[in-house]
Amino acid sequence: MSAKTDKDDILDDFATEPSLGPETLRSYVQRFPSLAVELTDLYHELRLVDLSTAVDGVPFETNPADVGAQQSAAAVMSALSGTNLRGLAQDLGLPRDFVAGFRDRKIRLGSIPGALLGNLARTAKVGVHQLIYHLQDSTAPTPQMAYKADGKPRGSAPVEFDDFVAGLNLDESELEALNKLSEADGTD
């Protein structure tokens, strides 16, 4: 019974090795030659389990693949939401709806002037690449206002920047602030 327990313990230890590769198998076979067949079978079985968790050639991961991107998305959402949204709109001299349009990804990225993107990102204290990633990320849910409705809500396609601005009905001072935000500052 002791030999069976030792065998099971050895196989359990092998199966729980953090880096299970050919080197690990070779090491165990050298230390326990009487278990070479069992170790090899277990190794191949464990490798097949790893392959069966792959979907369309993409490995299944329990941890987020790109933690940096998620942190970037969270930073942009934080900068464009809540009290930060109000403060940013006030700093820019523009209505909160303007900032909310970026938060809610209502504007087509290709229609936004590059200088405006850079200046908005700088004022919001996020990277330009983070803001661009946020605007491109169609997989993340956008915060929406809650309304009672008879039908299901439908997402709307992003609009051109000029159409978005026209819909805001900006006054003279806000148009001046928008023009200032759209000016290149020469740091590019």
Predicted confidence band of residue 59 (pLDDT cuts 50, 70, 90): very low
Give per-residue pLDDT as tens, 136-169.
876 655 555 555 666 666 667 889 999 999 999 9
Rounded CA separation 34/145 (Å): 67
Helices 161-168 and 96-103: crossing angle in degrees, nearest 10, is: 150
DSSP secondary structure letter of residue 60: P
Strand, helix or coil for residue 131: helix
Which token pair is 129?
């690449």
Rounded CA separation 103/107 (Å): 10
pLDDT of residue 28: 92
Give per-residue pLDDT as tens, 11-35.
888 888 878 888 888 999 999 999 9
* Residue range 103-116: mean pLDDT, rounded: 89
Checking if the pLDDT of 53 tops 70, the result is no
Rounded CA separation 83/81 (Å): 6
Give per-residue pLDDT as tens, 64-92.
445 555 666 788 888 898 899 999 999 99
Longest dimension (CA), the chain: 89
- Report domain extents, the chain: 2-52, 67-143+156-182
Rounded CA separation 85/96 (Å): 7
Which token pair is 53?
């968790």
pLDDT of residue 186: 55
